[in-house]
A and B are shown apart, each in its own frame.
Chain A
Amino acid sequence: MAVLDSKIPDGPLETKWSNYKSHVKLVNPANKRKLEIIIVGSGLAGSSAAASLAELGYKVKVFCYQDSPRRAHSIAAQGGINAAKNYKNDGDSVFRLFYDTVKGGDFRSREANVYRLAEVSANIIDQCVAQGVPFAREYGGLLDNRSFGGAQVSRTFYARGQTGQQLLLGAYSALSRQIGLGNVTMYNRHEMIEVVTIDGKARGIIARNLVTGKLERHFGHAVVLATGGYGNVFFLSTNAMGCNVTAAWKAHKKGAFFANPCYTQIHPTCVPVSGDYQSKLTLMSESLRNDGRVWVPKKQGDKRAPKDIPEDERDYYLERKYPSFGNLSPRDISSRAAKEVCDEGRGVGKSGLAVYLDFADAIKRLGKEVVEARYGNLFDMYKHITNENPYEVPMRIYPAVHYTMGGLWVDYNLMTTLPGLYALGECNFSDHGANRLGASALMQGLADGYFVLPYTIGDYLSGEIFTKPIPTDHPAFLESEKAAKDRIEKLLAVKGNKTVDDFHKELGKIMWEYCGMSRNAEGLKKAKQLIKQLRAEFWKNVRVTGGNDEFNVDLEKAGRVADFMELGELMVDDALQRNESCGAHFRVEYQEEGEAKRNDAEYAYVSAWEHTAVDSESILHKEPLVFENVHFATRSYK
């Protein structure tokens, strides 16, 4: 595996990061001023990295497709952020957070990266508080914590149900300060559509100004992608409408390997689809499962109203199957169980794709006031969306795509296999293995941006201090710009009969059906054919209105969907080669008594895919995962 060098520092796990920081090459302040860094994406990872790098003295350019960096989808995270502060004196430690994360990831993540994440987690909280993030407080004025899934300690910091928003606004304010000081140039409503490489190194990007349609060439000594996940490949997900894989995918096509694309987290408690017109799915906090009971009718196709179904005709399937964890079974297990009962024809609601989450017992036991105090805002949100009162009628929930653990392969420095190109946050694959624990995404994004990249990027940039800024009329820039332009023109020239959304919806259906909550070899092979056909049809029959030289939403979407279709195929390939069930990846062939069966002997590796050409097979590289500090264990929730 010579191609994949994860560059994990030597030495014991506990000292790897501090040793690394003490010995990593530095760039002196005078040289930092001469070095330019491009950051794509302005979510937690992008904003925090941009602010931190600008504070160090680098010249930074930030790009985001929204109208302001504050809109990035990190803002929608509700629950909280983990940190091994042990403020509760309940025995938390860096090691425990590390262990929980590795175990939660079903032993498919890299020990050294996860340990570093746990180590810097405490610094994140300090940083955010100093920025004025209004975390929840106790009456003594100190920070409050709550517990979250997959952990036995209270280590989750939160700001009402808007933790992501508050953390993002904190990072945004730090970024804004640097913009105001002139250290960062901000490019709103710009979409990166090509990576420029010169002599094998990432040297810049081509960005489309979404307002004017103009293609712009930007040079950087290094390029950092913090562009989030690709859950929208499923069309319906809890992601924002604009979330896309385009930046990561363009980088992949220029040489950055894509790791573990098949690991997609499906969140069990979302508001179900109400019709064909559905554009996105809304997450309901998992905390609802603390008091709600999940059930479906025992009989197939039972269309009676829930209150007319007597107790003995209900199937509380989570309690039945997993008596010790019951309704609190982990995300992946609860999600699959819901799909199973719906596949059996016992789903509820108009579409039959939903299960009940019933609070009747909780209201009887605790009283309506207590339930209201705990979940009032969630009940209101549900009522607002569905027009049903969950105090009287059980909620209907269904799993939805929520987070993608896979992403660009990165080494310990967060650099991809394309020198000079970095990937941070959800955009990379590094920390969550095959399944992410709740309240860990915010932690990872900020860790990468505030505390990891500012150190590790020096390792590369210290070798670049003699590189003069490359003029953007260099042939490599012109070539990339032309490629981007040709692609846009090709899209506009098809003038077919189906809209971009038609294709996106079809792609989503294929992905959800065959590469969603449970997968099998036969289905995956079929999916691959279907996606190929769809892709071919897309380039023959898509209709993109308007032109390039204007604000053109249709064109933006078309470019993104084209990339999703290529990614979809890779996801299927990846799911097909992984002949085991681990974390969010469940292959029906690999189970034992209905439970996921991991195969550590053969599959304890990261699959990293190398792009060849659009219609050729990608090449699989394997990074073996070595566990020196934790032991493989099987998850059991029975």
Chain B
Amino acid sequence: MNNKFKKQGLLGALIGKKMLMGITGLFLIMFLVVHCAVNALIFANDGGELFNKGAEFMGTNILIRTMEVVLFIGLLAHAFDGIYLERKNRQARSVKYVSHNPKANSTWYSRSMAILGILILMFLIVHLKHFWWLSRFTDHIAHSEATKLSGQETLFEEMKEVFQNPMVVVLYVAAMFSLAYHLMHGFQSAFQTMGWNHPKYTPCVKQAGFWFSIIIPLVFALMPIALYTGIIK
């Protein structure tokens, strides 16, 4: 090859940085499955018993706790890499079109991944403060019903309390819309970026991505609604 060729690492080019987006994205998708599955235990409607057991397991299992660290690294990598790429991409066109009709060739959410991502990130900060912070770094949350001290609450009780505020419910539901659209593009996009495109399987991936991005956020969104309305007690 010509003199331009130099051996380099994976992350040297933008494609490599995109691969990081894809791989962390898929990892976060897997996290969503676990998170959603555990939280869905509240729908057992048993006063949070099953759910609290699940929460206890998640909060104490060493493997899960290790993965929590990996999860944070993944999330931060996804966010910072995304912001870096978005900046780069914006810099690639400094004079904008006067007349622009992008809806003719692409969906609005595929073009808005950065903004959707930032909305999700802002939501995450609130969300982490609501539950994760309390349970990890304060004494406010009991690990289980059995070890509960006075003045402490189980995670389920805390959840019920938080979702008594209608504004919070609205915020959570709105955030799930952001998540849904982020996934709607991100799920299949991650496969494409990873190079997993195949005439036979890509249509299945797209189908799976579509349903995934509806079902997961829907299930999440139903939680605050159910708790707020008292369907779940």
A interface vs B, CB < 8 Å? 177, 180-182
7 examples of A-B residue contacts, CB within 8 angstroms: A177-B2, A180-B2, A180-B3, A180-B4, A181-B2, A181-B3, A182-B3
B interface vs A, CB < 8 Å? 2-4
Give chain B residues whose Cβ lies under 8 Å from the Cβ of A180.
Answer: 2-4
Give chain A residues whose Cβ lies under 8 Å from the Cβ of B2.
Answer: 177, 180-181
A180 to B4, CA, bound (A): 8
- The 7 residue pairs across chains A and B that have the minimum distance between CB atoms: A180-B2, A181-B2, A180-B4, A177-B2, A180-B3, A181-B3, A182-B3
A181 to B3, CA, bound (A): 7
A180 to B2, CA, bound (A): 6
A182 to B2, CA, bound (A): 9
A181 to B4, CA, bound (A): 10
Give chain B residues whose Cβ lies under 8 Å from the Cβ of A177.
Answer: 2
Distance to closest chain A CB from B1 (angstroms): 8
Distance to closest chain A CB from B43 (angstroms): 55
Distance to closest chain A CB from B135 (angstroms): 59
A181 closest partner in B (C-beta): B2
A319 to B2, CA, bound (A): 58
A181 to B2, CA, bound (A): 6
Distance to closest chain B CB from A183 (angstroms): 10
Distance to closest chain A CB from B114 (angstroms): 33
A179 closest partner in B (C-beta): B2
A67 to B13, CA, bound (A): 28
Distance to closest chain A CB from B4 (angstroms): 7
A176 closest partner in B (C-beta): B2
Give chain A residues whose Cβ lies under 8 Å from the Cβ of B3.
Answer: 180-182
B1 closest partner in A (C-beta): A180
B5 closest partner in A (C-beta): A180
A180 to B5, CA, bound (A): 11
A490 to B4, CA, bound (A): 46
A180 to B3, CA, bound (A): 8
Distance to closest chain B CB from A186 (angstroms): 14
Give chain A residues whose Cβ lies under 8 Å from the Cβ of B4.
Answer: 180
Give chain B residues whose Cβ lies under 8 Å from the Cβ of A181.
Answer: 2-3
Distance to closest chain B CB from A550 (angstroms): 21
A182 to B4, CA, bound (A): 12
Distance to closest chain B CB from A153 (angstroms): 37
Distance to closest chain A CB from B226 (angstroms): 56
A293 to B212, CA, bound (A): 57
Distance to closest chain B CB from A609 (angstroms): 44
A178 closest partner in B (C-beta): B2
A235 to B12, CA, bound (A): 52
Give chain B residues whose Cβ lies under 8 Å from the Cβ of A182.
Answer: 3
